[in-house]
Chain A
Amino acid sequence: MIAPPAARVAMLVCLTLPACALAARLSASVHGGDGKPLPNAVVVAAPEDGRLPPLTKTTEVVDQIDKEFVPYVKAVRAGSYVQFPNKDNIRHHVYSFSPPKKFELPLYSGTPAIPVLFDKPGIVKLGCNIHDWMLGYIYVAETPYFGKSARDGRVEVDQLPPGRYQVRVWHPLMQGSETATVQRVELRDETPTRVEWTLKLNPEYRPRRTPLPGEPGYR
């Protein structure tokens, strides 16, 4: 038996409203040890009950522009694919030795035909075998609830189901382990729950892009 139109609308409203009303938000702020806002920090919220929405196949992008990885840090959910388009007019050779995803895209220009699957959570460090100073990171999260801090050090993660979460932060240069940053929070409604971290950072020792005098570089 088919319900009359008014009843169908009412049913739809009933089904939709609770979900909207119950979506929670997390507002995080990340600073460096010097007190300055810290960009490129990944904030992850892991539900304590372990319930996660089903994975939807997504393809993310990490570009190579002016011989740098763009963005420097990319966060994806485990099971996502990542394309590595080369937008320079030279060739790059992208690789990773990181345990969550070891791969190599030998010398190429343009966009490789097959994206790379990142199916294990963890941190994947990217490099280019031609331009050693090129460095990038892919943070593979076990949950879909994550965000990356902007220049102001702020991260907003929304559309979270209410409940108890363990939230943590990671940054490529942070001292100490990611698990040491875990905070337990209960997210109830749309009013943002605020969390803050101050991270002490290590220096970043990249191979130099600028050659030394009298020595030919390989930019």
Chain B
Amino acid sequence: MQTRTTMAPRLLTCWLCCVVALYSGTARSEWGFDATGGFTYDDNLSNAFEADERKGDTAAAVDLAGGYRQQLGDSTSLGLSLLGTSQSYLHYTGLSNIGLGARALLRTKFGLGAEAPWLALAAQGVYHNYHDDNLDGWSYEAGATLGKRFGDRWTVSGSVRYDAYVANSTPPVIIPGLSGSPYDVYGWNVGVQARFLATESDLVSLSYNWRTGTVTSVTEPDLEVLEYSDRVARTTIFGSPEIAYRINANTQTIGIAWSHTLGQHTAFNVAYAYRRSQADSELGAYYANVISITVSYSY
């Protein structure tokens, strides 16, 4: 089993240097902290095509982000944040993980006022520890979002984003020619989102995201699916011995969310997303329903 060099200490050092550099202009830097905690239910964690192979579970999830934002000019700011994530699954505890990473966000407004269009360029990397050499690894995201507020109640945005997950280790080869980690996935995303202030304190969001790239599915050993896969590994993450395999797929996600403010800094959020992945091959499509209930706090 090969193990790639862990980048966590280097990333942390780099992040700390950037924060110190920003903090040196104390009066110009803005400290910020976001925390979101709650529960998420996904009825197809295994990304299974067959109904009897779908594995659903609930996770208690916490996301933390804290850092500084530097106003570089009248319209442009740069934010650097340290990220912490945690997911604890009730049943499939092998999927529980904690993560530590960093994010850079460059945001610029094209004009003056709340209705001026804005562009945000974001990049982040998070190291996830599953206590499983095959699953541990880095998730990366980089993308651009262009948004605009229309009147008092509507905000519309569109985004392009690249995501990747790079596992630390390569599992033993079980089928010659299908080497490499099936958990190494990547994809390009294009999304649009509309937000509507239904009341003074209730925000409703509708979103659509299209992703093309690779996904990991888990199934009982099945020679047929291996025809369409380029990477395969044994796994017992859902209890019984199964195989994880990687395929190319196009994934569409439609989401609706409701967020109710509980004061200047706190909000209660409920979100639902329907995700459908169509394999490039004859495997067909799988779908998932994801529901989350969270409370978010920002300071």
Contacts and interface: CB of A to CB of B under 8 A. Distances in A.
Nearest to B79: A216
Contacts of A206: 200
Contact of A213 (B73, B75, B264, B271): B271
A212 interface: yes
A219 interface: yes
Interface stretch (B29-37, B91-99, B244-252): B29-37
A213 B269 contact: yes
Given A203-B199, A205-B200, A216-B105, A95 B205 contact: no
Contact of B298 (A129, A204, A205, A219): A219
Interface stretch (B106-114, B128-136, B184-192, B277-285): B106-114
A90 B29 contact: yes
Interface in B270-299: 271, 292, 294, 296-299
Contact of B269 (A107, A212, A219): A212
Q: Is the interface of A mostly helix, strand, loop or mixed?
A: loop
The secondary structure that dominates the B interface is strand
Interface in B112-166: 112-114, 116, 122, 149, 152-153
Contact of B264 (A93, A109, A210): A210
A132 B197 CA distance: 15
B231 interface: no
Interface in A61-106: 89-91, 93, 95, 97, 104, 106
Contacts of B57: none
A94 to B, nearest CB: 11
A18 interface: no
A184 to B, nearest CB: 35
A209 B264 contact: yes
B259 interface: yes
A91 B28 contact: yes
Contacts of B27: 89-91, 109
Q: Which 5 A-B pairs have the closest CB atoms?
A: A205-B152, A132-B114, A213-B36, A210-B267, A90-B30
30 contacts: A89-B26, A90-B27, A91-B27, A93-B74, A106-B74, A109-B27, A127-B113, A129-B75, A129-B109, A129-B113, A203-B200, A204-B200, A205-B153, A208-B259, A208-B261, A210-B261, A210-B263, A210-B266, A211-B296, A211-B298, A212-B257, A212-B267, A213-B38, A213-B63, A213-B292, A213-B294, A216-B103, A216-B122, A218-B69, A219-B298
